A = this chain, B = another copy of it.
Amino acid sequence: MEETKPLRVGMVGYAFMGATHSQAWRTAPRFFDLPLSPRLAAVAGRDPGRVAAAAAKLGWESTETDWRRLIERDDIDLIDICTPGNTHAEIAIAALEAGKHVLCEKPLANSVAEAERMTAAADSAAARGVYSMCGFSYRRTPALSLAKRLVDEGALGQLRHVRAQYLQDWLSDEDAPLTWRLDRTKSGSGSLGDIGAHVIDAAQWITGQDIAGVSALLETFVKQRPVGGDLVGLGGHGSGGERGEVTVDDAAIFSARFDGGSGTAGAIGVFEATRFALGRKNAMRLELNGSKASLAFDFEDMNSLWFYDAADEPNAGFRKIQVTEPEHPYTGHWWPVGHGLGYEHAFTHQVVDLVEAIAAGKQPTPSFADALQVQRVLDAVETSAADESRWTKVEGA
Chain A residues near B (Cβ < 8 Å): 1-2, 16, 19-20, 22-23, 26-27, 30-31, 56-59, 146, 150, 160-161, 163, 165, 168-170, 172, 174, 215-217, 219, 221, 232-234, 251, 253-255, 257, 265, 268, 270, 272, 274, 276-283, 287, 289-294, 299-308, 310, 312-322, 324-328, 334-345, 384, 388-391
Contact = CB atoms under 8 A, between A and B. Distances in A.
Contact of A278 (B30, B291, B303): B291
A22 B2 CA distance: 18
Given A30-B57, A291-B172, A318-B319, A281 B388 contact: no
A291 B2 CA distance: 46
A289 B337 CA distance: 18
B268 A278 contact: no
Contacts of A274: 160-161, 289
A172 to B, nearest CB: 6
Given A343-B340, A345-B342, A328 B302 contact: no
B314 A300 contact: no
A301 B301 contact: yes
A253 B251 contact: no
A170 B337 contact: yes
Contacts of A146: 315
B322 A319 contact: no
Contact of A338 (B215, B282, B384): B282
Quick one: which of A301, A307, A342 has the most chain B CB within 10 A? Answer: A342
A270 B253 contact: yes
Contacts of A59: 30
A281 B322 contact: yes
